[in-house]
Structure 1
Amino acid sequence: MAVESVSRERVEARLDRLVRENRFTIAVVFPLAGAVLLLASAETLLPGPLNFNPYLVLFGTFVMRLPLIAGVAPLVDRKALLALVALTLYSYAIEYVGVTRGWPYGFFEYGVDLGPMLLDTVPLGLPIFFFPLVLNSYLLCTLLLGERAANPLLRLPVVIAAVLAVDLVLDPGAVALGFWAYDGGGAYYAVPWSNYEGWVLSATVAVVLFDIAFDRLALTDRVRRCEFMLDDLVSFVILWGAINAYFGNWVPVAVASLFFLGLVRIDRFDFRVFDTAPLVGRVRNSER
């Protein structure tokens, strides 16, 4: 048991070091490159196999998730693992019902291959797309609320609202790219309001499960000490802000800007993430 604990600590330490040493690449280069590749795919400018290549999409998404994975890994115990399993099952089930029955999001269908499909209906990689949206919102709101986050009657509604705001950015960009489409379109950049009614349900379930799964004080302490833990949200702002701007979806761009301001407020979207790039120049200059 002690050996397993030491092995886990070593893996977590290596993952921390990997992320910390590659912050600029993960938090800035990958989302910028991802935005270019996705937009080029939407305009069919790439060779056939590269247009919306599902494995490139999954790989890029996974890399951008690494800061959050590394940040939360030390806090995953048996209770958290069970909650994550429950949330995984819920996300697959609600997505399956959404695609086949049109509830609770409204009828929609995928237009882009997002990798292996469960029951030929739901992307197997759904948790890696969905979970971080919720956990990033939880962490951001916890830091912004400060001591007020101790009140669940305030904390939970604020986080749920933040998750909805995330989808106000994500869904219009994804629809514009052709990731999925809603039958009959919708009033909000071809997204129907029923989608957001469904997100109220899914966000509530996910936020409550995360709230149960993790010790809030330990999670708050970890995100305060771990400078890169919200870099995945930095990537989200860059990637989906750029995509929405390209398509002229200015309300989603404005909402993404609010997340940017929130990250600045808690000192998480600053030029320290760029330190790796200038460092090379400083070293070279010192050698001259």
Structure 2
Amino acid sequence: MGNPENTESATEAGSANERGSWTRGSVQHRLEGLIRENRFTIAVVFPFVGAVTLVASAEGLLPAPLAYNPLFILFGTLVMRSPLVVGLLPRIGGWALACLGVLTVYTYAIEIVGVRTDWPYGAFEYTIQLGPMLLDAVPLALPLFFIPLVINAYLLTLLILGDRSDAAHYRIPAAIAAVVAIDLVLDPAAVAIGFWAFVPPGVYYGVPVSNYVGWVLSGTVAVVLVDLAFDRRALLERVRDCEFVLDDLVSFVLLWGTINLLYSNWLAAGVAGLFCLGLFGTDRYDLEMVRTSFPGRR
């Protein structure tokens, strides 16, 4: 028979190893490995399938249970957001959570005000339910849709500006402009597929100028809160080290840029193309990266 004390020690060591295998660092490592192994699926396949199914929903080509299915929309959005979330997790502490919590509350508040008062975006209404609705007015998942867009715009701005991003008078206005540019891509496509509608329709593919005035306001508050949330130098170091952190922006460009192309929203598609140029300008997206991102080619 073995020594009971040795057996007990081995059991305790095994339990300690098991506990150690689920530390924050080990979980982070596993999540990053999962993202890296599935980059092409997440950043290319999901937005392409999303664009096809959303256009098919808008054109009445899908049966009722599948058309605009909120579970599919939310699941697809979560998957496409995963590179950004996993990439930023090591830089999200208590202060960042507090700032992002304030931004979440603000996101709900400004949208509810917008729906009920027509300010600051102009008169609009959700024409389909994007999942459960808060106060019968806005999607409960609204922060999932909006906040990552702001963070993507902010991160891309930091990378493109380089050393100039140290100056707030460069960084903040540039990030706000990037947020508004994102909506120049998003809103025309969302109106085209029937996510929401402006009454009366505006001059920019159904979107009024007032909407972009509102986005300047909401984008300014959001960018300032994101800027306050993170240690900028540590964040920039993480973004430079994590090759997939901007893949969510790639998904956005492919999804909404494709929809704009299919509906001949040429100017909106052109703005999506400018984001492509910006992404290529970060030196992390090139033909070699695309080749190695295919499954089985790493």
Same fold (TM over 0.5): yes
Q: Is the 8 A contact 1:23 1:273 kept in 2?
A: no
Does residue 75 in structure 1 map to residue 70 in structure 2? no
Count of aligned residue pairs for this structure pair: 279
Q: Is the 8 A contact 1:24 1:275 kept in 2?
A: no
Q: Is the 8 A contact 1:27 1:64 kept in 2?
A: yes
Q: Which residue in the other structure is 1:258 paired with?
A: 274
Does residue 113 in structure 1 map to residue 134 in structure 2? no
Q: Which residue in the other structure is 1:285 paired with?
A: none
Q: Which residue in the other structure is 1:131 paired with?
A: 147
Q: Which amino acid aligns with 2:200?
A: G
Rounded to whole Å, the distance in 1 between the matches of 2:41 and 2:21 is 30
Q: Which residue in the other structure is 2:4 paired with?
A: none
Question: CA shift at 1:109, angstroms?
Answer: 0.5
Q: Which residue in the other structure is 2:292 paired with?
A: 275
How high is the TM-score relative to the length of structure 1?
A: 0.94
Rounded to whole Å, the distance in 2 between the matches of 1:104 and 1:270 is 39
Q: How does 1:103-182 map to 2 (within 5 A)?
A: 103-182=119-198
Question: CA shift at 1:86, angstroms?
Answer: 0.3
Does residue 36 in structure 1 map to residue 52 in structure 2? yes
Q: Is the 8 A contact 2:32 2:86 kept in 1?
A: yes
Q: Which amino acid aligns with 1:8?
A: R
Question: CA shift at 1:274, angstroms?
Answer: 4.1
Please tell me whether Structure 1 or Structure 2 has the larger radius of gyration of its CA atoms. Answer: 2
Deviations 1:165-210 (A, max 9, x none): 0000000000001100011010111101110010011100000000
Query: Tell me, which stretches of 5 or more residues in structure 1 are unaligned?
Result: 283-288
Question: CA shift at 1:269, angstroms?
Answer: 3.0
Question: CA shift at 1:279, angstroms?
Answer: 3.3
Query: Tell me, which stretches of 5 or more residues in structure 2 are unaligned?
Result: 1-18
Does residue 205 in structure 1 map to residue 245 in structure 2? no
Q: Is the 8 A contact 2:190 2:196 kept in 1?
A: yes
Deviations 1:7-62 (A, max 9, x none): 22222111111101100000000000111110111111111110010110010011
Rounded to whole Å, the distance in 2 between the matches of 1:81 and 1:277 is 34
- 3-state SS of paired residue (1:188): coil
Does residue 216 in structure 1 map to residue 236 in structure 2? no
Q: Which residue in the other structure is 1:94 paired with?
A: 110
- 3-state SS of paired residue (1:275): helix
Rounded to whole Å, the distance in 2 between the matches of 1:108 and 1:53 is 22
Q: Which amino acid aligns with 1:167?
A: D
Q: Which residue in the other structure is 1:286 paired with?
A: none
Q: Percent identity?
A: 61
Instruction: Calculate the aligned-residue CA RMSD, in Å.
Output: 1.6
How high is the TM-score relative to the length of structure 2?
A: 0.91
Q: How does 1:48-59 map to 2 (within 5 A)?
A: 48-59=64-75
Rounded to whole Å, the distance in 2 between the matches of 1:203 and 1:278 is 37
Q: Is the 8 A contact 1:96 1:122 kept in 2?
A: yes
Question: CA shift at 1:273, angstroms?
Answer: 3.8
- 3-state SS of paired residue (1:186): coil
Rounded to whole Å, the distance in 2 between the matches of 1:126 and 1:9 is 29
Distance 1:41 1:249, change over 3 A: same
- 3-state SS of paired residue (2:206): coil
Question: CA shift at 1:278, angstroms?
Answer: 6.5
Rounded to whole Å, the distance in 2 between the matches of 1:4 and 1:247 is 52
Deviations 1:58-79 (A, max 9, x none): 1001100000001111111111
Deviations 1:81-140 (A, max 9, x none): 000110000000000000011011011100111001111111010011001111011111
Distance 1:24 1:82, change over 3 A: same
